[in-house]
């Protein structure tokens, strides 16, 4: 068999903000496409106009763009297989449903909602599965039970109808899933799903199969929640005569709560402080949901951490650039079982990316938090503060609050150090030491460090007893970045002023 070009699609419905599970689906599709020199499509599945949420499509585009998941063919990008939005393809679906009816693979059903409910109640009362299927359909009002004249009359009268697939009563449906191996369902487990709704519009199932076929999709990589629909989809390919070009399936595991008990929902996320959306989302009712971007995550860190939620490489490597992921990724190494979300690990990833961020990237990450005092000392000064403090935090936006004393005199002083380690003797030593620095213009870190050693030796005290009080006098803090680097940056003049202020704070 000649190799089929890889064409995969991410097919979200614009019904709200994209869950990170969806983002991971998009990422795996993207990686798979790139690895095989194939195409990554974005198809907007908006057949269900009732669930349409304004802004959701833009949100999807913005999320993918933020993460660098470039779309090859889509609504914005165009392409030879368009349109890429189902609401613009509505005239393509109905004829397939009618074709299936004429071939006795689907049927018209005229039942009212009440009649369907009554049927379901009857079945439930007898402890049977409440579904419209090969057995129950024979007691319902459809083109299998009505005479052809009655059907014709109803259609001519414009009576409401839907088209349902006609599944066999008891037949094995087998298909191969790249992640899960052979999957077997029996048609008796399924129901005769609606393909075409009363308004003449297709359901998800029909539109999805028609589009995957017409867009020549080679692999369907999607969430596990679609596994129960897969046998119906296989039957649709078979009925429509498209089985030989049916895409290969890969159903991805769920992203679970940290305790492994169930899917990570928005509510769990709120409780545990884990964003479940890539970007902040403002719902029409005013409810705000937090996003990775606004929480200070870097896009490459999110890509990396999402890649590892359900997939693992053959070695223990944890940090991957996108290009490395493209090389290393394989669907065969995606696990069948759910992937537990670990917030500490997520922060660890962000920290790693923060550590290797360039100055420009760091500046971009904190640009919204900048106040005049942060820029007053110049960009180079600011960048040095960011570089010095980034190892202390998981998120870039925690850096400036942590390092406020770099930009102005300390406003808070650690009481523990003040009460236990700050006294007039220590204060005098520090004053003398700083005086020496000024007198000799010893202003770089090495000079400052050397002199603290010689000052301590000459005074017969331990250098260690001066270190924390020195830091405290300058920054107000008990801990922080390497002290002499910090001092070099703050500069002798400001150090002298700070020490003067601190000397007034004797615990005498
Ligand atoms: N529109 C479906 C969704 O919202 C697509 C499922 C599929 O990939 O087949 O996830």
Catalytic residues, by residue number, are 266
Same-domain status, 71 and 219: yes
Ligand 1 center to 28 CA (angstroms): 14
Q: Kindly state the helix (H) or strand (E) to which residue 208 belongs, with its residue range.
A: helix 204-214
Among 44, 46, 193, 208, residue to substitute to test ligand 1 (most atoms within 8 Å of Cβ): 208
CB of 11 closer than 6 A to ligand 1? yes
Residue 489 is part of a domain; what is its CATH number? 1.10.10.350
Q: What is the CATH number of the domain that holds 292?
A: 1.10.1160.10
Q: Band the pLDDT of 507: cuts 50, 70, 90.
A: low
Say if 1 falls within a structural domain. no
Q: Inform me whether the pLDDT recorded for 1 exceeds 70.
A: no
| Domains contained in the chain, number | 5
Give me the residue label for tokens 């802004």: 55
What does R_g of the chain's alpha carbons equal in angstroms? 32
Residue 12, ligand 1, Cβ within 6 A: yes
Q: Which residue's CA is minimally distant from atom 5 of ligand 1?
A: 11
Residue 215 belongs to some domain of the structure: yes
pLDDT one-digit tens code per residue, 73-129: 999 999 999 999 999 999 999 999 999 999 999 999 999 999 999 999 999 999 999
Asked whether the predicted pLDDT for residue 361 surpasses 60, the reply is: yes
- What does the mean pLDDT of the chain come to? 95
pLDDT tens-digit profile of 402-451?
A: 999 999 999 999 999 999 999 999 999 999 999 999 999 999 999 999 99
Q: Could you report the per-residue pLDDT of 15-44, keeping only the tens digit for each?
A: 999 999 999 999 999 999 999 999 999 999
Residues 44 and 97 in one domain: no
Domain match, 107 and 118 both: yes
Look at residue 83 and tell me if it is in a domain: no
- Hey, is 42 helix, strand or coil? strand
Q: Give me the helices (H) in 279-378, please.
A: 299-307, 322-328, 343-355, 359-366, 372-376
Count helices and strands (H / E) in the chain: 21, 13
Query: For the segment 374-403, what is each residue's pLDDT rounded down to a tens digit?
Result: 999 999 999 999 999 999 999 999 999 999
How far apart CA 360 and CA 505 sit, in angstroms, is 39
Q: What is the CATH number of the domain that holds 69?
A: 3.40.50.620
Q: Are 476 and 486 part of one and the same domain?
A: yes
From 9, 226, 246, 249, mutation site for ligand 1 pocket: most ligand atoms within 8 A of C-beta: 226
Asked if the structure places residue 85 within a domain, the reply is: no
Going by pLDDT thresholds of 50, 70 and 90, the confidence category of residue 268 is: confident
357: nearest Cα among 398, 399, 317, 386: 386
Same domain for 25 and 43, yes or no, is yes
- Per the DSSP assignment, residues forming a β-bridge with 177 are 181, 249
**How far is Cα 366 from Cα 216, in angstroms, rounded to an integer?**
44
Cα separation, 220 vs 249, in Å, equals: 5
Last residue of a domain, which of 403, 432, 456?
Answer: 403
Q: Are residues 188 and 97 in the same domain?
A: yes
Mark whether 421 and 383 lie in a shared domain: no
pLDDT at 508 exceeding the cut of 50 = no
Is residue 352 domain-shared with residue 369, that is, in the same domain? no
Atom of ligand 1 nearest to the CA of 45: 1
Q: Is the CB of 208 under 6 A from ligand 1?
A: yes
| Domain that residue 397 falls in | 359-403
The confidence score (pLDDT) of residue 2 equals: 58
Q: State the CATH number of the domain containing residue 180.
A: 3.90.800.10
> Do 189 and 97 reside in the same domain of the chain?
yes
Q: Are residues 493 and 479 part of one domain? A: yes
* pLDDT single digits (tens) 118-138: 999 999 999 999 999 999 999
Pocket test for ligand 1, best of 7, 13, 29, 59 (most atoms within 8 A of CB): 13
**Residue 187, domain member (yes or no):** yes
Do residues 399 and 431 both lie within one domain?
no
When pLDDT is cut at 50, 70 and 90, the band that residue 192 belongs to is very high
Residue 324 is predicted with a pLDDT of 97
For residues 276 and 298, membership in a common domain is answered with yes
8 — pLDDT class (breaks 50, 70, 90): very high
Percent of the chain topping pLDDT 90: 93
Ligand 1 site, residue 221, Cβ cutoff 6 A: no
Structural domain includes residue 491: yes
In degrees and rounded to multiples of 5, residue 39 shows phi and psi of -115, 140
142 three-class SS: strand
Residue whose C-alpha is closest to residue 472's, from 385, 413, 430? 413
Q: Is 445 exposed, middle or buried (0-12, 13-18, 19+ CB in 10 A)?
A: middle
259 pLDDT band, cuts 50/70/90, is very high
pTM of the model: 0.92
Whether residue 86 is contained in a domain is answered as no
The reply to whether ligand 1 has any atom less than 6 angstroms from the CB of 222 is yes
Q: What is the pLDDT of residue 506?
A: 67
Beta carbons of 310 and 252 less than 8 angstroms apart: yes
- Across 193-287, where does the E strand assignment appear? 194-196, 219-223, 248-252, 255-256, 281-282
Last residue of a domain, one of 403, 436, 458: 403
Sign of the alpha-carbon dihedral angle for 412, 415, 416, 422: positive
Residue 81 lies in a domain: no
How many A from CA of 229 to the centre of ligand 1?
A: 10
């Amino acid at each position: 068999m000649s190799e089929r070009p890889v064409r995969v699609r991410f097919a979200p419905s614009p019904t709200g903000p994209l869950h990170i599970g969806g983002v991971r689906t998009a990422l795996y599709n993207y990686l798979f496409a790139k690895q095989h020199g194939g195409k990554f499509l974005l198809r907007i599945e908006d057949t269900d106009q009732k669930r349409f949420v304004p802004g959701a499509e833009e949100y999807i585009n913005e999320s993918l763009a933020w993460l660098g998941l470039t779309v090859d063919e889509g609504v914005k990008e165009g392409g030879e297989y368009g349109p890429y939005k189902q609401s613009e393809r509505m005239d393509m679906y109905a004829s397939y449903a009618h074709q299936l009816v004429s071939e006795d693979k689907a049927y018209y059903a005229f039942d009212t909602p009440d009649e369907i409910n009554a049927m379901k109640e009857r079945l439930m009362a007898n402890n049977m599965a409440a579904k419209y299927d090969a057995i129950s359909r024979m007691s319902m009002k459809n083109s299998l039970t009505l005479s052809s004249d009655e059907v014709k009359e109803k259609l001519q009268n414009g009576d409401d109808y839907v088209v349902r697939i006609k599944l066999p009563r008891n037949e094995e449906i087998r298909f191969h899933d790249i992640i899960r191996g052979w999957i077997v369902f029996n048609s008796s487990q399924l129901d005769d799903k609606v393909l075409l709704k009363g308004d003449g519009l297709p359901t998800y199932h029909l539109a999805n199969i028609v589009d995957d076929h017409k867009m020549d999709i080679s692999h369907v990589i999607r969430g596990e929640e679609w596994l129960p629909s897969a046998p119906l989809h296989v039957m649709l390919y078979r009925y429509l005569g498209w089985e030989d070009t049916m895409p290969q399936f890969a159903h991805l595991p769920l992203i679970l709560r940290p305790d492994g008990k169930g899917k990570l929902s928005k509510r769990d996320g709120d409780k545990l402080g884990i964003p479940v959306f890539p970007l902040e989302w403002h719902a029409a009712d005013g409810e705000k949901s937090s996003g990775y971007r606004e929480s200070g995550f870097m896009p490459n860190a999110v890509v990396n951490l999402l890649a590892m939620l359900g997939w693992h490489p053959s070695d223990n490597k944890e940090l991957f650039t996108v290009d490395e992921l493209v090389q290393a990724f394989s669907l065969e190494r995606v696990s069948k079982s759910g992937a537990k979300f670990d917030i500490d690990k997520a922060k660890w990833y962000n920290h790693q990316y923060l550590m290797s961020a360039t100055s420009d990237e760091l500046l971009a990450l904190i640009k919204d938090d900048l106040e005049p005092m942060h820029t007053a000392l110049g960009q180079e000064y600011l960048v040095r503060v960011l570089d010095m403090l980034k190892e202390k935090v998981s998120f870039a936006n925690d850096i400036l609050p942590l390092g406020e004393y770099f930009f102005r005199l300390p406003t808070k002083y650690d009481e523990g150090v003040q009460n236990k380690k700050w006294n007039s003797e220590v204060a005098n030593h520090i004053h003398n030491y700083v005086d020496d620095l000024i007198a000799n213009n010893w202003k770089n870190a090495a000079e400052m460090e050397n002199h603290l050693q010689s000052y301590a030796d000459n005074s017969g005290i331990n250098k260690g007893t001066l270190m924390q009080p020195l830091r405290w006098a300058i920054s107000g803090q008990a801990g922080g970045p390497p002290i002499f680097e910090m001092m070099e940056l703050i500069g002798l003049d400001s150090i002298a002023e700070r020490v003067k202020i601190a000397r007034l704070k004797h615990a005498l």
